[in-house]
Amino acid sequence: MTAADRNRSVLVHERADRSLDGIFRLIEAAGQPRPLAEVLARMCADVSAIAAADVVSVYVRDASDDQVFTMRGNVGFPATSIGNVHLRQGEGITGFVAEKLLPVSVAVADRDEHFKYIPGLGEERFPAMLAVPIVRAGAAAAVLVLQRGSDHEFSGEEVVLATALAAVISHALERAEERERTQRETGRASVRLPGTSLSRGAAMGRAAVLPTLAALARGTVPPPAATISVDVALERLEADVRKLAAGATSAELASLMLILSDRRFRDRLSAAAAGATPLKSMSELAREYARVAFSAAGDEATEALMSERAAEIEDLCVIVHAVTTGQTLLRPGDIVISERLRTFMAAHALARGVSALVVDGTLGEGGAVATLARAASVPLVAGVAGVFAWVHPGDLLVVDADAGSVRVNP
């Protein structure tokens, strides 16, 4: 291979190729605090779709040996590779990126001097490679690696995109480390977490975390076939919202009700649910709304509204899948723990008889979720910072919304 070929196939991308601020603002909203394995699995699948990559891997620096990076997330390689593929700093292209702290793209990976062959992965089918460091405190905390088939090398614009997506993964790693550190320091001790009361009352129950579409798709047991139609599921949810609202006027509620009555949307959701891979089809439908949200032109307020609407659509898909297949997301007496509870999921939870709602993020006192909780006389405490660092699904909780607090393992 000539020097000209080597110069063309291996590019080291310096910092400040272009501003990433706008991309960061769009992507940071995608982060959700969940178990690290689940977060990385979802992130890898999302990056694969967004960046049109056949393989996406996340190598995380080991806590026991800071010179070793282990594959902790992947899509495209055998599932057995997760947790079993290790590269030392400086070893392979991934290790080289961790050492140099710069993105590297390679048109044909095995022609690069840094490439290291790992038996059993099948990397030879995906020679085009892009690796991006995830940097914290001046060192690589992880490396995001994207791979494709031949003749599909990564462009400079895609390096920018991958760098933005790496920021999401960095956020997920930071949250996971915070949770693990807190759990090590406190064990399962009782703790009182303050928040803001939006619906008064008190309740005791077990913590329940609502699943995402991605989490449902990774279930080890295939879901049962649909037992009722999408139309029936949507009509039930619409009835729940109307009953809970109890005549309250809310522009937010009125706008969301239009989604439930949108015939075109109903038809598309019905088609997705009836397909061979309903969860995948629903995910694609939700992502389509997300793409519309992220590409919407307008001011920041408009974009935020569109993004929130896309998230409501994904929640709606989760509910419809559960209801049409007879699955139970929540049981009476559960206490829902959520990073950002939205209207459709709140209505579904309240209609199932949950005893309280606890939200990590902030909610408006006059918003639809607070309106529904007060109408149902169910305690709601929002702004409970750090709740995911303290609470595991199944933990016993006491919610005192009169005092604006949540006690874990009382």
How far are the Cα atoms of 74, 119, 123, 141, 149 from residue 77, in angstroms, in the given order? Answer: 7, 12, 8, 22, 13
Contact 131, 103 (CB under 8 A): yes
278-297 pLDDT tens trace: 877 887 777 676 556 455 55
**Cα–Cα dist 153/103, whole Å:** 14
- Alpha-helical (H) ranges within 262-299 are 263-274, 278-295
Amino acid symbol at 350: L
Residue 304: the pLDDT is 61
Q: How confident is the model at residue 204 (pLDDT cuts 50, 70, 90)?
A: very high
Q: Could you write out the DSSP letters of every residue in 22-55? A: HHHHHHGGG-----HHHHHHHHHHHHHHHHT-SE
9-61 pLDDT tens trace: 566 654 433 344 434 543 553 455 556 777 788 778 888 888 889 999 999 99
Span 300-319, mean pLDDT? 73
Residue 131: the pLDDT is 95
Q: What does the block give as tokens for 270?
A: 């019905």
**Cα–Cα dist 408/395, whole Å:** 7
**Cα–Cα dist 53/283, whole Å:** 17
Entry field: residues in the chain: 410
Q: What does the block give as tokens for 141?
A: 């905390």
CA 53 to chain centre: 18
Q: Is the pLDDT of residue 71 over 90?
A: yes
**Cα–Cα dist 278/285, whole Å:** 10
Residue 188: the pLDDT is 55
Amino acid symbol at 231: D
Amino acid symbol at 189: A
How far are the Cα atoms of 6, 40, 268, 294, 295 from residue 58, in angstroms, in the given order? Answer: 26, 7, 34, 24, 27
Span 132-147, mean pLDDT? 93
Query: Which of 363, 42, 13, 5 has the alpha carbon at shortest distance from 161?
Result: 13
Residue 2: the pLDDT is 54
CA 244 to chain centre: 28
Exposed/middle/buried for residue 172 (C-beta within 10 Å: 0-12, 13-18, 19+): buried
Specify the pTM.
Answer: 0.55
Q: What does the block give as tokens for 73?
A: 């997330």
369-389 pLDDT tens trace: 898 899 889 999 999 987 877
Residue 252: the pLDDT is 66
Name the most confidently modeled range: 25-29, 120-124, 195-199, 344-348.
Answer: 195-199
Exposed/middle/buried for residue 202 (C-beta within 10 Å: 0-12, 13-18, 19+): middle
Q: What percent of the chain has pLDDT over 90?
A: 26
SS (H, E, C) 346-380: HHHHHHCCCCEEEECCCCCCCCHHHHHHHHCCCCE
Q: Is the pLDDT of residue 191 over 70?
A: yes
